[in-house]
Amino acid sequence: MNQITKCNDERMCARCFTGDKCEVMRSEFEKTKAYELCKSWQMDFDEELQTYYSINPMFHSDVTVINSAWRMYQERQTEVDELQKRVDLVKQLIQAYKDEEKELELKEWEQSTIYGRFAIELEQALKGET
């Protein structure tokens, strides 16, 4: 069995999910069609290495496929989490501008200035450039 080591990437790459987050993610992964198509009763999951394994060489290709699917699932989930952070930031920006507009009782040209600034900040948030 190949030894998989954890990386030191601060963005928490696919190999770095630990504890409850890994357990929840693995539970969700094991509900997918990819897992259902490849699973075998002779496979198990190594919590420390965060990889599937089998002591039966006959299931080596099943293990390879399921580990590939598991890694892809983790990477996709990381992207989803990042996008959710961006959406949350956009919601915060919208609320902040709504609050500012109400508080200041702005004139039309002032609203236009704020909306222009908001559009720039919104674009940056969506690009992840906060």
Overall residue count recorded for the chain in this entry = 130
Residue recorded with tokens 């190594």: 46
pTM for the model stands at 0.60
**Token digits for 55?**
């002591």
What is the model's pLDDT at position 101?
63
What does DSSP assign to residue 58?
G
Which tens digit of pLDDT belongs to each residue from 57-107?
Answer: 888 888 888 899 999 999 999 999 988 888 888 888 778 777 776 666 667
